[in-house]
Amino acid sequence: MRPFDQQRILLGVTGGIASYKCAWLARLLTQAGAEVDVILTRAASEFIGAITFEALTGRPVHTALIEPGHALDHIKLARAADAVIVAPATADFLARAVHGHADDLLSACLLATTAPVLLAPAMNDRMWSHPAVTQNVAAARALGYHIIDPDTGPLAVGEGSGPGRMPEPETLMTHLGRVLGMREHSPLRDQHVVVTAGPTREPVDPVRFLSNRSSGRMGVEIAAAAWRRGAKVTLIAGPLEVALPIGVHVVPVETTIEMEAAVRAALPDADVLIMAAAPADFTVDHPAERKLKKRERPDTLTLVSTDDILLSTRDVRRLGSIMVGFALETGNAVAEGTRKLREKDLDLVVINDATEPGAGFGTATNRVTLVDREGRVEPLSLLPKRDVAEVILDRTEARLRGR
């Protein structure tokens, strides 16, 4: 699973109570296709055993800096790694890493590697707020280490709640994916990418609305993938049925007119717009101001067309920006999508048929055809939406390179 497939990850585990979470992190990375080399410090071995990680990764676990037959492990592991993550990173380890200590295998590997390094500090809240730790965190960032701040939540028994808790493995994995993505020097790095996702809801009365079956999954996957590649991402989201992506600035909206206003506000600063949302095409002409009772049921609802967001915001597009639209059809999909590409002045349109099994709304997969401004037609096989998102961003990056 991109970006972890066939990547070599060096996972360093230090001596904190949160070390038990790293067994699940090792499992997630392995399931995503990474080869995971685990280093346990002596203190970490007091909390969790090497055999646990060996069983989860299928690879030997490393513990000693110097032992017969392994004198150069710190060099071999450091050179082989595509990325290094230390979780939990205790206050002691942070101090030794910043000062260049090399008296154990893990700290020696940090000195010997040229791979990106992600540190996940975890400790008591009073330790985390101590000026010495604050200085060490700042110094680690100055050295080029990536730091993910700890969460606020329950600490060790009797210590209450506060900042210092190690983020969950899924969160660590997401941040590690961004570290890997940024290492590839993506053209999206530091670019402002605006993505829309989900349906809109057009009110009938204060409790009822018109909407559609969009879950928002496709747009969320695109936003998450763009963030992993180093972009600054704004997600303009209607009501979603999926979790919000980590690291992404979210602008929640309800109606089509609200989504249009949010897109209009974001576009002057946007390098890329990917319109993956499914805004309603119609709204009720005069929504009722109070809940309609059954006995008051109207014989008809008068519908009026909403603005086409891609068309209505053409005047505020940034010069040279990349515009990507979606066309969900139920017949003659490619022809209709191509018409929309020309009509809305798009660089790329993503077309799919809502009636095809496994595609469209409410599924984890999608089968799409990409058509670009030059008329190239690229049909894709049925793929997980996460993979579709990666292909869309690959094609977007290609256009960014050619600007």
**Catalytic residues, which ones?**
212
Rounded distance, CA 43 to CA 331, Å?
63
Q: Which of 32, 306, 307 is nearest to 169 (CA)?
A: 32
List, as one string, the DSSP characters of 156-183.
Answer: STTS-EEEEEPPPHHHHHHHHHHHHHHH
Rounded distance, CA 188 to CA 203, Å?
37
Rounded distance, CA 320 to CA 400, Å?
9
Two tokens at 11?
């996972």
Residue type, 377: V
Rounded distance, CA 80 to CA 66, Å?
18
Two tokens at 139?
């110094």
Give the SS3 label for residue 189: coil
Q: Which of 7, 5, 57, 54 is nearest to 32 (CA)?
A: 5
List, as one string, the DSSP characters of 220-277.
Answer: HHHHHHHHHTT-EEEEEE-S-SSPPPTT-EEEE--SHHHHHHHHHHHGGG-SEEEE--
Distance between terminal CA atoms of the chain? Answer: 29
Rounded distance, CA 10 to CA 80, Å?
9
Rounded distance, CA 29 to CA 12, Å?
13
Give the SS3 label for residue 117: strand
DSSP E strand boundaries for 279-347:
282-284, 303-305, 322-329
Give 186's Cβ-side CA count (13 Å radius).
Answer: 27
Rounded distance, CA 304 to CA 307, Å?
10
Burial (Cβ within 10 Å: 0-12, 13-18, ≥19) of residue 234: buried
Two tokens at 75?
């060099």
Rounded distance, CA 337 to CA 371, Å?
8
Residue type, 260: E
